[in-house]
Amino acid sequence: MSFRSLGFEQIAVTIVDEIANLLVGPAESLERACPERGIVLPRDTYAHENVQTEWWYYSGHLFAEDRPFGFELVFFKRRTDQDRFGRILPMRLLGQVNYYAHFAVTDVADGKFRYSHRRSIGAHNAGASVDRHKVWLGDWSARELHSQHLLFAKMNSTSINLALRPVKPLVLQGAGGISYKDEGEASYYLSYSRMLAEGELTVAGNRYDVTGLGWMDHEFGSWTMRAKIQGWDWFAIQLDDGQEIMAFHIRDSSGQPTRFSAAALIDSQGQIRQFGHDAFRISILGRWKSPQTGTIYPSGWSLSIPAVGAELEIIPLLRCQELDTRGSTMIIYWEGACSVRGKLATGSVRGRSYVELVGYDRSHEALTIFDYLLGEIRFRSLGLHLMG
């Protein structure tokens, strides 16, 4: 095919791809989730070299005596073989493997939410092991040792140093560990839905001995959230009767839940019961507008699963638990600690939840390479930390 038969954009893509091939090598085909592969444990809790996206997501509720806190620590690994700035420039020119991390603490008593985020372009001072459960970015880390997950992260005068011990087997979410996001688009999805937490939490220079409960999600694979998908609302619920519920709505371009939305109940023995999109309902109870970004989020929900008599109310412990991660993962989202109360078929229940709301801000869709590279200036001006 001659250049005459190609449009300008395709000519530019062809030329830039050839340059990228010479400088950093050709883009590779990456593994996509398929039922035939199956889940291999414990190997699939470690890192994978040939997937596009992978994350280790820890969240939970901590208590210093009667004082409550929430925490989030997440590590992302991203292969950039198929990624571009705009429609032309390959991201692998900057780094074939990039790492990102977010850390947040909710101080309920003081009504304050603190967070920080990092990135490592080209995996400088960051990594994830393929033969053990270990991931790090700078001095932030999550690793498994003697059946405990050891977490460390620090921002200014706030830090966590925790040991989390799973008390239930690893949960295979979705269809045997495959969670579909759209037609033909899926991730492998594993969860520790109940982990006993113990350790130290320092908030604004004040040190606390804490105990509590954590939740860990590990997802990996190569999938695309197409233009028709707006975002998702995700709920991890830990009930005081020893059960957990995971539920999510994947929203289409009009904001309505798609048929790929799903829920699961994990009973006190670790057995999982799955529910399709038409077997549960999440209703919004209120709204909150961020004074920082102007983004409007749902704030308060009811969750109904008729098959198990579940009628739950989920309320944020703080309304402002928004993270602006432009400069690292380049999105603005809400993720925070919530209270839970209501009933199941077995009676009244109470508990705690972490809720993630993605896609209510769409500013990342218009970001350019200059926004990405100049993110360092934003990091420095906010006093945050940028690796790489």
Q: Mean pLDDT in runs of 10 for the chain (388 residues)? A: 54 65 66 86 95 96 96 94 68 80 97 94 91 97 97 96 97 94 91 98 97 98 79 97 97 93 96 97 98 96 98 97 88 96 96 97 69 52 38
Residues in the chain: 388
pTM (predicted TM-score): 0.90
Q: Cα 306 to chain center, whole Å?
A: 28
Estimate to the nearest angstrom the gap between the alpha carbon of 253 and the chain centroid. Answer: 21
Q: What confidence tens digit (pLDDT) does each residue in 201-256 have?
A: 999 999 999 999 999 999 999 887 666 788 999 999 999 999 999 999 999 989 99
Pairwise CA distance, residues 193 & 172, whole Å: 11
Q: How many CB atoms lie within 10 A of CB 134?
A: 18
Q: Is 346 within 8 Å of 242 (Cβ atoms)?
A: no
What gap in Å lies between CA 161 and CA 159, rounded to an integer?
7
Residue 271, pLDDT score? 95
Cis peptide before 90 (omega within 30 of 0): no
Give the per-residue pLDDT at 381.
41
Identify residue 47 by its one-letter amino acid code: A
What is the bridge-based pairing of β-strands 296-298 and 206-221?
unpaired
Domains, the chain, ordered by start: 45-382 (2.40.370.10)
302, two tokens: 């009811």
Residue with tokens 């999550």: 142
pLDDT, position 15: 67
- For residues 342 and 106, give the distance between their C-alpha atoms in angstroms, rounded to a whole number: 23
Strand partners, 123: none
pLDDT at site 4: 46
109: left (phi > 0), else alpha (psi -120 to 50), else beta?
A: alpha
User: Which residues 6+ apart lie within 8 Å of 110 measured at CB?
Assistant: 203
Confidence at residue 327, expressed as pLDDT on a 0 to 100 scale = 78
